[in-house]
């Protein structure tokens, strides 16, 4: 503690607090803490139980290594991965194609209420269930295989992409739209020239994110029989074939990482008009000062 200085000439009574206590928030945090403690007690989360689990996990991990995908396994791995990838591509394309009109119809600043509410209802229903639940429904309806998987992921894509797309449209700058309307353009032309250019890059972002997401989901829906690597993975688990499980997991990780690189590449190409070479240079061959300069330059330019 340092010495307190001489009292200032006009000591100010602390009547005005810069950050007044927000009681509702404080009470909320306290309630949340109480709930967590209670829930932990309910669920039998104890140290002994955890230690027993760790022991089991060590044995399991030991059986996973080294990963093995020799002989027949290699082929079934390839077939499964190929099917997952195909499900992803087809479902993402279809889902995005359907999300465009649905998202447009759900935008309150462009459409009358009688169009908006059915579109929003459709989106809400699509979002209600997890992809795996939808996949189970599709498997029951159309049978085992990739078609069920594609259907499930299309529904999931519609729910996610159209909702975000509608929100992006609701946030556009109305002045640009007004200017296009003032030229006497038809409604569709206004959408094409006044609305879409403003949301295109965000839409592309949603679409590539959904591609990533579908890639992950496509590796899982196979567990319920909707095609893809998930089926292979589940079968391997059932056979206690843990080294093959490990090989499959590594393959999935590789695929997801590849998908991420691919989607950031697509975004860069379309939204920043970068050439392929420029993209590589920026991503891998740039020093920190260069990056800062560019950010500053962009701010100046705007």
Partner 1 sequence: MTDRTIEIKGLVKEYKKGVPVLKGIDLSIEGEGITAIIGPSGTGKSTLIRCINRLVEPTAGEIRFQGLDLATLKGADLRNARRKIGMVFQEYNLVERLTVMENVLTGRLGYMNAFQAWLRRFSAADIAEAFQLLDAVGLGAFAHQRADSLSGGQRQRVGIARALMQHPDILLADEPTSSLDPKTSVEIMELMAELAGKRNIPVIVNIHNVELAKRFCHRMIGMTGGKVVFDGPPASLSETHLKEIYGGEDWLH
109 contacts partner 1 (rule: CB under 8 A):
no
299 contacts partner 1 (rule: CB under 8 A):
no
- Footprint of partner 1 on residues 269-288 (CB under 8 A)? none
**Do 92 and 157 contact (CB within 8 A), yes or no?**
yes
Question: Looking at 183, 272, 290, 293, which residue binds partner 1 (CB under 8 A)?
Answer: 183
Q: Which is nearer to partner 1, 20 or 184 (CB)?
A: 184
**DSSP-assigned letter for residue 224:** G
Task: Quote the Cα angle for 39-45-40, to 5°.
Answer: 15
Question: Looking at 192, 250, 258, 296, which residue binds partner 1 (CB under 8 A)?
Answer: 192
- Choose the binding region for partner 1 from 7-15, 24-32, 123-131, 194-202 (rule: CB under 8 A): 194-202
- Choose the binding region for partner 1 from 33-41, 105-113, 193-201, 242-250 (rule: CB under 8 A): 193-201
Question: Looking at 94, 127, 198, 235, which residue binds partner 1 (CB under 8 A)?
Answer: 198
**Shortest distance (Å) from residue 182 CB to partner 1:** 4
209-230 as b/e, with b when 16 or more CB fall inside 10 Å?
bbbbbbbebbbbbbbbbbbbbb
Closest CA to 165 of 121, 120, 135: 120
Binding mask 155-174 for partner 1 (x = CB under 8 A): ------------------x-
Give CA–CA dist 246/62, Å, rounded.
11
Q: Which residues contact 95 (CB under 8 A, 6 or more apart)?
A: 153, 154, 155, 156, 157, 158, 161, 210, 214
Q: Which is nearer to partner 1, 109 or 201 (CB)?
A: 201
- Choose the binding region for partner 1 from 56-64, 78-86, 189-197, 255-263 (rule: CB under 8 A): 189-197
- Helix-strand-coil split of the chain, %, nearest 5: 75, 0, 25
Interacting residue ranges for partner 1, rule: CB under 8 A:
173, 175-176, 178-186, 188-194, 197-198, 200-201, 301-302
């Amino acid at each position: 503690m340092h010495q307190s200085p001489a009292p200032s000439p006009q000591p100010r009574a602390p009547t005005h607090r810069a950050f007044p206590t927000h009681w509702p928030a404080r009470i909320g945090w306290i309630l949340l803490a109480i709930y967590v403690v209670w829930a932990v007690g309910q669920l039998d989360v104890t140290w002994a139980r955890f230690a027993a689990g760790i022991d089991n996990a060590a044995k399991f991990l030991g059986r996973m290594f080294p990963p093995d995908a020799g002989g027949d396994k290699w082929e079934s791995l390839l077939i499964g991965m190929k099917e997952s990838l195909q499900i992803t591509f087809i479902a993402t394309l279809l889902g995005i194609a359907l999300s465009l009109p649905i998202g447009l119809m759900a935008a309150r600043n462009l459409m009358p209420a009688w169009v908006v509410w059915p579109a929003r209802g459709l989106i809400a229903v699509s979002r209600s269930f997890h992809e795996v639940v939808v996949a189970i429904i599709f498997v029951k309806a159309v049978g085992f295989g990739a078609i069920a998987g594609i259907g499930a992921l299309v529904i999931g894509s519609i729910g996610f992409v159209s909702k975000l797309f509608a929100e992006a449209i609701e946030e556009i700058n109305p002045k640009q739209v007004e200017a296009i309307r003032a030229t006497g353009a038809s409604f569709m032309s206004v959408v094409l020239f006044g609305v879409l250019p403003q949301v295109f890059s965000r839409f592309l972002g949603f679409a590539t994110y959904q591609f990533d997401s579908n890639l992950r989901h496509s590796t899982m829906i196979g567990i319920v029989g909707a095609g893809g690597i998930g089926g292979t993975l589940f079968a391997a688990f059932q056979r206690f074939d843990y080294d093959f499980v490990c090989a499959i997991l590594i393959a999935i990780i590789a695929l997801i990482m590849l998908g991420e690189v691919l989607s950031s590449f697509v975004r860069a190409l379309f939204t920043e008009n970068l050439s392929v070479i420029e993209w590589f240079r920026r991503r891998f061959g740039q020093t920190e000062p260069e990056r800062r300069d560019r950010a500053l330059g962009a701010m100046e330019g705007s």
